[in-house]
Amino acid sequence: MDFSNFNSAEQAHMTKIIEKKQMQDFLKMYANIVEKCFTTCCNDFTSKALSSKEDACVANCTEKWLKHSERVGARFAEFNAEQASQ
Amino acid sequence: MDFSNFNSAEQAHMTKIIEKKQMQDFLKMYANIVEKCFTTCCNDFTSKALSSKEDACVANCTEKWLKHSERVGARFAEFNAEQASQ
Amino acid sequence: MDFSNFNSAEQAHMTKIIEKKQMQDFLKMYANIVEKCFTTCCNDFTSKALSSKEDACVANCTEKWLKHSERVGARFAEFNAEQASQ
Amino acid sequence: MSFLGGRSNANASAVNYDKMEMAVTELDTVTDFFNRMVSSCYTKCVGGRYPADGDLNKGESVCIDKCVAKYNEVQKKVGEKLQSRGAAAQASGAAPGSGSAFGSL
Amino acid sequence: MSFLGGRSNANASAVNYDKMEMAVTELDTVTDFFNRMVSSCYTKCVGGRYPADGDLNKGESVCIDKCVAKYNEVQKKVGEKLQSRGAAAQASGAAPGSGSAFGSL
Amino acid sequence: MSFLGGRSNANASAVNYDKMEMAVTELDTVTDFFNRMVSSCYTKCVGGRYPADGDLNKGESVCIDKCVAKYNEVQKKVGEKLQSRGAAAQASGAAPGSGSAFGSL
């Protein structure tokens, strides 16, 4: 996105809006990871506590999601840069 | 959530906002139940009317969802109370 | 929905709100079609480019979704008209 | 509410913002309902399969018509059920977002 | 913000809109979390099967209780993990909506 | 719109709220698109399986790269298709939220 035609007052507003949205996006990503990793890792409901296997699964699952999300972001940024330069 | 540090004007605003959100949450739950119980109960599309079997299924499915939602709410409230007292 | 009890100022506001919502709904439908047709049509990730088979699948899938959405809209409108006349 | 326009005009063209807000909520509710019906009937009647062409075939078309009718029926049934459980259910926390889980003022 | 009410009163009943907005964000976050927990535990413990009656049976009830406990555990674990990766991860684009993919001012 | 800030300044630093609103809509659209791409590619390339460790293996990494490229291709194709059907389709109710299902003013 190109905000170069925004004046300084508009850029200041936009920065504030974007900061708020980043906070909301972060919270949404958090909720998403919880939901996905719970679904993937937890299938035994005879005990309340996470087993050590489930615990490791949640840690790996979270780490993998973050790395996945970073990689998609990087490829998407490259794609957008290519589009913009054409 | 703790709103004890809110002054009376802020509490009045918050009450209004919460009331609006409860209305929206109720409508969302309504739409959710319809979607889930339709998916669970309706699999024959050779007739327009609900069969008596489908009709009973929708009634039971709705009742079960409400009881499920209440139970999750009760456990979640206990969990939050525990956390707050630690 | 019945807006006949709206005065002209209210109708003007409502028209503006509805126009904005139609834009948002259109963008949401666009994102939905991309998501669904990608899921249905793309299952080979050994190449970056769409194969001719995938390409045809996406075109047909999009066309089908639009026709489906139009048909559901038409039936829903009939249903609402029936309800209103009872 | 100022984001819906001016507030100070009290003549015949004054805007009743509570009424407007209710209309917007109703519009959002119907739109959400419609979108879920489209998705559900797509899954039941069309979706998933690799499409042979861009047209709805006879079986899919018939299925969609019945699907819309049944979806509306289910919506009515669930609505009646929720109404018969009434305010009691809401107050006791059946509705997410209400009840003790979220603290109170 | 004017859409939450008046702005010019600076007395004891003045409304702090930033505080209000944070409270609303917190409320939305908890509600979203709760709704996802309800859906996830429904899928794990109740859903899908054709319901024999309108009651939760013994097995389902026990399952729900454990499910809520585990879901809360997972939320804690993931939260700790995100915190330990910290600001670095956010700045490098782990959070959708941030980072170079969306341009910058 | 007053919720985006002041309104009365008409000098060089005046804020054009329609332009701002369009930018916000564009931002929301790109964010939604990105989030759906992340989820779809996770399902196709990573998800579901019990994770052996916290790293993406070679196969997953390659899959993700192709997946992003294909997802963007599909987005272009669908966009072209929607454009070629044009305003007619929108007016006749192809877009949920428009058309006769929701009444008119």
- Residue-level pLDDT at F12: 56
Which phi-psi region, left, alpha or beta, contains residue B50 (left: φ > 0; alpha: ψ -120 to 50)? Answer: beta
- Residue-level pLDDT at C1: 64
Among residues B62, B70, E47, B68, the alpha carbon closest in space to that of D95 is found at B70
Place of tokens 């050779």: B46
What is the residue extent of each domain of chain C? 8-85
CB C77 within 8 A of CB F99: yes
CB D15 within 8 A of CB C15: no
**Residue in B10, B14, B40 nearest the CB of E50:** B40
* Two tokens, residue B5: 């540090």
Q: Which runs of E-coded beta strand occur in A1-86? A: none
HSE (side-chain half, CA atoms, 13 Å) at A15: 9
Q: How far apart are CA E76 and CA F2, in angstroms?
A: 39
What does the mean pLDDT of chain C come to?
92
- Cβ contact, residue pair D65, C76, below 8 Å: no
Cα D8 versus chain centre, distance:
33
CB E48 within 8 A of CB B37: no
- Residue-level pLDDT at B1: 63
Give residues 6 to 35 of F whose Cβ lies within 8 Å of A: 9, 12-16, 19-20, 23-24, 26-28, 30-31, 34-35
In one letter, which amino acid is F81? K
- Indicate whether F49 pLDDT > 90: no
Cα three-residue angle B61-B64-B65, rounded to 5 degrees: 85
- Indicate whether A63 pLDDT > 90: yes
Those residues of chain E that have pLDDT short of 50 are 1-10, 87-89, 91-105
Among residues E40, E33, F38, F55, the alpha carbon closest in space to that of A42 is found at E40
Tell whether D37 is within 8 A of chain F (Cβ). no
- Cβ contact, residue pair F102, D38, below 8 Å: no
- Residue-level pLDDT at D94: 40
The interface predicted TM-score (ipTM) is 0.84
Question: CB under 8 Å to A8, separation ≥6 — which residues?
Answer: F13
Taking the alpha carbons at both ends of chain E, their separation in whole angstroms is: 24
- In the structure, what pLDDT confidence band is assigned to residue D92 with cuts at 50, 70 and 90? very low
What total of structural domains would you count in chain D?
Answer: 1
Rg of chain A (C-alpha set) = 19
Q: Is E27 part of a structural domain of the chain?
A: yes
> Which of D17-33 are b and which e, b meaning 16 or more Cβ less than 10 Å from the residue's Cβ?
beebeebbeebebbbbb
- Indicate whether F102 pLDDT > 80: no
Contacts of E39 in chain B (CB under 8 A): 32
- Indicate whether B44 pLDDT > 90: yes
Looking at per-residue confidence, does F46 or D49 come out higher? F46
What does the mean pLDDT of chain F come to?
77
- Residue-level pLDDT at D42: 96
For the ranges A49-58, B2-11, B18-27, B41-50, which has the lowest average pLDDT?
B2-11
Contacts of C20 in chain D (CB under 8 A): none
- Indicate whether A83 pLDDT > 50: yes
**Residue in A8, A14, A67 nearest the CB of F20:** A14
- Indicate whether D6 pLDDT > 70: no
Q: How far apart are CA A26 and CA A22, in angstroms?
A: 6
CB D66 within 8 A of CB B18: no
- Residue-level pLDDT at C76: 96
Q: Which CATH architecture has domain B8-85?
A: Orthogonal Bundle (1.10)
- Cβ contact, residue pair E31, D1, below 8 Å: no
Q: Is E92 part of a structural domain of the chain?
A: no
Q: How far apart are CA E18 and CA B20, in angstroms?
A: 19
Min distance D35 CA to chain F CA atoms (Å): 6
What CATH code is carried by the domain that includes residue E63? 1.10.287.810
Q: Is D88 part of a structural domain of the chain?
A: no
CB C65 within 8 A of CB C33: yes
Contacts of C43 in chain D (CB under 8 A): none
**pLDDT tens digit string along F66-100?**
999 999 999 999 999 999 987 444 544 443 333 33
Cα three-residue angle D92-D94-D95, rounded to 5 degrees: 110
Q: How far apart are CA D4 and CA D22, in angstroms?
A: 13
Contacts of F44 in chain C (CB under 8 A): 42-43, 45
Q: Is D42 part of a structural domain of the chain?
A: yes
Q: How far apart are CA E49 and CA D66, in angstroms?
A: 23
CB C37 within 8 A of CB C54: no
Q: Is F35 part of a structural domain of the chain?
A: yes
- Cβ contact, residue pair F27, A18, below 8 Å: yes
Q: Give the single-character DSSP code of E99.
A: S
- Residue C84 CB: number of other CB atoms within 10 A? 9
**Residue in D65, D66, D98 nearest the CB of B25:** D98
- In the structure, what pLDDT confidence band is assigned to residue A13 with cuts at 50, 70 and 90? confident
Average pLDDT of the segment spanning F39-59 = 92
**pLDDT tens digit string along C35-62?**
999 999 999 999 999 999 999 999 999 9
Looking at per-residue confidence, does E10 or B10 come out higher? B10
Average pLDDT of the segment spanning D77-89 = 82
Helix (H, G, I), strand (E, B) or coil at A2: coil
- Residue-level pLDDT at B40: 94
- In the structure, what pLDDT confidence band is assigned to residue C66 with cuts at 50, 70 and 90? very high
Which ranges of chain E would DSSP assign to H, the alpha helix? Answer: 17-45, 58-91
- Cβ contact, residue pair C70, F93, below 8 Å: yes
Per-residue DSSP letters for D18-85? Answer: HHHHHHHHHHHHHHHHHHHHHHHHHHHHTTTSPPSSSSPPHHHHHHHHHHHHHHHHHHHHHHHHHHHH
CB B3 within 8 A of CB B14: yes
**Residue in C6, C7, C67 nearest the CB of D56:** C67
Return the residue of E nearest to F35 by Cα: E96
- Indicate whether D5 pLDDT > 50: no
In one letter, which amino acid is E69? A
High-pLDDT (> 90) share of chain F, %: 51
Cα F98 versus chain centre, distance:
19
Domain that holds residue D61: 1-6+14-47+56-82
**Residue in E3, E27, E35 nearest the CB of D2:** E3
